[in-house]
Amino acid sequence: MAQEPVVRAAFRLRSAEIGIALVFLVFAGLIIFDSIRQGARWLAEGPQPGYFPFYLGVLICAASLVTLVRALLMPAEQNRTFVQVGQFKLVLSVLVPSAVYVALVGWIGIYVSAVLFVALFMRWLGKYPWWKVATVSIGHSVALFVIFEVWFLVPLPKGPLERLLGVG
C-alpha cells in the first residue's frame, strides 16, 4: 500500500457528512413546517396540498438522521481527509470569483462580466501575457454575443456599455 502523503486537511469526512446531513435536515424542516401550515391531512375531497410534501420531508429527515448518526459513530481511522488545504484553496479560488461574477452580471451585464471573469483567471491562475488574455476574453464574449443575440435571437443581460454601443 502506498503511504499517504502528509497533507493538512481543510476539513475531514465526518464534518462534511454532518454538515450536509444538517443541510438536508433544515430543508426537510422547511418542507414539513410549510406542509403542516398548508394542511397535510386527508379530507373528504382528497389530500390537502401539503400531504405529499409532508411525507417527503419525513423521509428526508429519517434518511439524514441515519447519515448523521453514522457520521457521529464513525471510527477515527475512517475519518479521512475530505479536502486538503491546497485543494480547498483552488476550489475557493474558482467559487468566490464565480459568485462575484454572478453579482456583476446583474449590474454591468453578462458580456463585460464575462470578459473580466475570464481575464482574471487567465492572468491570475494562468499567468498569461496580456495580449493573450485580451484576445481570449474579448473573443469569447464576442462569440457569445454572435451566437446568442444574432443567430438564436436569445437576449442576455446587458449593462451600460452595451447601451453606450447601441446594442442594448
Partner 1 sequence: MDEIQSLMHGFGVALTLKNLALMFTGVILGVIIGVLPGLGGANGVAILLPLTFAMAQTPDGQTSAIILLSCIYWGALFGGAITSILFNIPGEPWSVATTFDGYPLAQQGKAGQALTAAFTSSFIGALVAVILITFLAPVVAKFALAFGPPEFFSVYLLTFCAFVGMSKEPPYKTIAAMMAGFGLAAVGTDPVTGTLRLTYGFTHLLTGFDFLVAVIGLFGIGEILLTLEEGLEFRGTKAKLNLKVVLETWKELPRYWLTSIRSSAVGCFMGIVPGGATPASFMSYGVARRFSKDGDKFGSGQVEGVVAPETAAHAAGTSALLPMLTLGVPGSPTAAVLLGGLLIWGLQPGPLLFLEQKDFVWGLIASMYLGNIAGLIVVLTCVPLFAAILRIPFSVIAPIIIVICSVGAYTVHNALFDVWMVVVFGVLGYFFRKLQYPLAPMVLAIVLGDNAEASFRQAMLFSQGELSIFFATPLVGSITGLAFFLLFWPLISLGLAKLRGR
Q: Which residues bind partner 1 (CB under 8 A)?
A: 16-17, 19-20, 23-24, 27-28, 30-31, 34-35, 38, 42, 46-47, 49-53, 56-57, 59-60, 63-64, 66-67, 82-83, 87, 90-91, 94-95, 97-99, 101-102, 105-106, 110, 114, 117-118, 120-122, 125-126, 128, 136, 140, 144, 148, 152-157
* Minimal distance, residue 41 CB to partner 1, in Å: 11
* Minimal distance, residue 126 CB to partner 1, in Å: 3
143 versus 165: smaller Cβ distance to partner 1: 143
Residue 77, C-alpha cell as written in the block: 481511522
Instruction: State the Cα–Cα distance between residues 33 and 143, nearest whole angstrom.
Output: 47
- The set of residues, in sequence order, having a beta carbon less than 8 Å from that of 133 and lying 6+ positions away, is 119, 122, 123
* Minimal distance, residue 83 CB to partner 1, in Å: 7
126 versus 160: smaller Cβ distance to partner 1: 126
Which three-class secondary structure state does DSSP give residue 4? coil
124 versus 163: smaller Cβ distance to partner 1: 124
* Minimal distance, residue 72 CB to partner 1, in Å: 14
- The set of residues, in sequence order, having a beta carbon less than 8 Å from that of 84 and lying 6+ positions away, is 7, 8, 9, 10
Q: Which ranges of the chain would DSSP assign to H, the alpha helix?
A: 13-38, 51-72, 85-108, 110-124, 130-145, 160-165
What φ, ψ does residue 158 adopt, rounded to 5°?
A: -125, 160
* Minimal distance, residue 103 CB to partner 1, in Å: 9
Residue 149, C-alpha cell as written in the block: 443575440
